Amino acid sequence: MKRILVACGNGIATSTVVATKIKDICAEKGIAISVTQCKLLEIDSKVDDFDILVTTGRYGGDSAKIPVVSAMSLLTGIGEEETLEEIVNYARG
Give helix then strand counts, H and E, for the chain: 4, 4
Domain range for residue 24? 2-92
Residue 62's pLDDT is: 67
CB atoms within 10 A of CB 74: 25
Coil, helix or strand for 76? helix
Domains of the chain: total: 1
Q: What is the CATH number of the domain that holds 63?
A: 3.40.50.2300
Residue of 5, 8, 22, 54 marked catalytic = 8
Residue 64's pLDDT is: 74
Q: Phi and psi dihedrals of 79, rounded to 5?
A: 80, 15
Query: Does 38 qualify as catalytic in the annotation?
Result: no
**Tens digit of pLDDT for each residue in 46-67?**
999 999 999 998 887 666 789 9
